[in-house]
Amino acid sequence: MSENGARESITVTDNRTGQSYEMPVTDGTVKAMDFRKIKTANDDFGLMVYDPAFTNTASCRSAITQIDGDRGILEYRGYPIEQLAEQSTYLETAYLLLYGELPNKKQLSEWTEIVRIHTYIHENAKKFMEGFQYDAHPMGMLCGTVAALSTFYPDAKHVMEETSRHIQTVRLIAKMPTIAAFTYRHNRGLPYVYPDNSLTYTGNFLSMLWRMSEPVYQPHPKLERAIEILWILHADHEQNCSTNAMRAVGSSHADPYSATAAAAAALYGPLHGGANEAVIRMLEGIGDKKHIPEFVKRVKQGEDLLWGFGHRIYKSYDPRAKIIKQAADDVFEITGPNPMLEIALELERIALEDEYFIERKLYPNVDFYSGIIYQALGFPVDMFPVLFAIPRTAGWLAQWREMLADSEQKIARPRQIYVGQKRRDFVPMDKR
Ligand code: ACO
């Protein structure tokens, strides 16, 4: 019963039979399985719900990340993203996502230490990476190497044991930056730089990327912090495409390396984490502010997309894009401005005043500005999705752990509406 005495349920009348069915409403949701009892005859399979792309289907209960898409609010475990970006570190935020609470001093120190001592990858994993073509896309290398890690840690298949889950979680968080940095060095034909565990998580990443002959690489503290902020913003985003892949693959009890590789592969696509790469290619293609109106016209005619705009959930400004825009100034102070920024700002201004984008509630998403910072920091464009995958690993793993602990979850297995041929007999070759 609700407060006003109304029943917390809906009644559905099947006009084919005239029968009515009452279904409970819980958390603003009805259970899809409740529709199965709606039948026209005893041997009828029952009604299914049809929702390609899950546009109106909740696939789980989750206590990790909350998004209010209309108001542009994002919270991890109840903490506003703005506060985490300002006051937290990536590793602390990863702990929060994974274990539900902010760590105390001792917990944070133990967590940082255990991640620190797992940053090296097996020499054979390094050799595996050396086998990639010199110009292999870094995201392809990342997906392949993360999947290969499962062959190094056969204990990872014990997904229902917390000791195993914990150590694989640590290994993945610790090794992602190492693998990512090796993909970069590989593309450049440079020797891989081993982790320097005296540095911070982000500082060590920069060292593995850019250290040359100097004995110790000293990252610029402001750039180190800028990466920290970007990684906090990217750490989780509830049931997006890659997280759904992580949960779906993990639901068969595959090991977390295989599931993370699948999630990273989903992230790779330009409609998802690959959008940051697509944004820069779009801005470079526009080339000059004077070409923006012509580009926007093409988008409105459906000939192109305004990359980095639009979101399934946000129907107002993505709060992460706001924070990134602010962080960009700190970066440009050190690196000098990125000429792409001027085009991006003007493109955003024009789009936000245009009826096409207003009507469809299309605003900049996280990827509209992240690529501009990453480019100013000196990263090649094809590294951008990799820079997204590193921090998102915390979110994937938090969601994977939650899924395994959820007694309502089973192997993910959607239904289909079969629209193919009816049964027919095989036609021999000479009769076709
Ligand atoms: N440029 C132009 N038009 C767009 C854009 C865009 N970037 N995004 C959506 N639209 C239009 C659609 O064509 C559609 O128009 P219509 O109603 O006339 O058919 C309408 O807006 C609704 O869009 P949908 O595609 O139905 O929205 P959906 O929720 O399925 O897609 C998505 C969301 C994939 C993010 C989409 O907005 C898009 O392709 N954006 C560009 C790629 C991008 O930036 N992806 C990164 C997302 S953030 C992330 O994953 C990290």
**What are 270-311's pLDDT values in tens digits?**
899 988 889 999 999 999 999 999 999 999 999 999 999 999
Q: ∠ CA(380), CA(384), CA(389), 5° rounding? A: 140
Q: Is 243 in the pocket of ligand 1 (CB under 6 A)?
A: no
Averaged pLDDT for residues 84-112: 98
Q: Is 314 in the pocket of ligand 1 (CB under 6 A)?
A: no
Cα 213 from Cα 215, distance rounded (Å):
6
Q: Is 307 in the pocket of ligand 1 (CB under 6 A)?
A: yes
Sign of CA dihedral 271, 277, 278, 283: positive
Least confident piece of the model among 27-41, 85-99, 242-256, 359-373: 359-373
pLDDT at 3 over 80: no
- Whole-structure pTM over 0.75, yes or no? yes
Q: Is residue 122 annotated as part of the catalytic site, yes or no? A: no
Nearby residues of 414 by Cβ (< 8 Å), 6 or more positions away: none
Average pLDDT, the chain: 95
Look at residue 202 in the predicted model and tell me its pLDDT.
97
pLDDT at 338 over 90: no
Q: Is 388 in the pocket of ligand 1 (CB under 6 A)?
A: no
pLDDT at 254 over 90: yes
Q: Is residue 234 annotated as part of the catalytic site, yes or no? A: no
pLDDT at 99 over 70: yes
Mutate which of 65, 239, 360, 387 for ligand 1 pocket (most atoms within 8 A of beta carbon) = 360
Centre of ligand 1 to C-alpha 292, Å, is: 19
Q: What is the CA radius of gyration of the chain?
A: 24
Q: DSSP state, 135?
A: T
Task: Sort 71 into a burial class: Cβ within 10 Å, 0-12 / 13-18 / 19+.
Answer: exposed
Residue 161 CB coordination number (10 Å): 11
Q: Is 311 in the pocket of ligand 1 (CB under 6 A)?
A: yes
Percent helix, strand, coil in the chain, to 5, is: 55, 5, 40
Which residue's CA is the nearest one to ligand 1's atom 29?
312
- Please provide the size of the chain in residues: 432
pLDDT at 185 over 90: yes
Centre of ligand 1 to C-alpha 381, Å, is: 22
Q: Which of 166, 272, 330, 406 is catalytic?
A: 272
pLDDT at 1 over 70: no
Confidence of residue 326 (pLDDT cuts 50, 70, 90): confident
Q: Is residue 51 annotated as part of the catalytic site, yes or no? A: no
Averaged pLDDT for residues 409-413: 97
Which residue's CA is the nearest one to ligand 1's atom 9?
310
Q: Which of 236, 311, 318, 382 is catalytic?
A: 311
Averaged pLDDT for residues 140-158: 98
Confidence of residue 253 (pLDDT cuts 50, 70, 90): very high
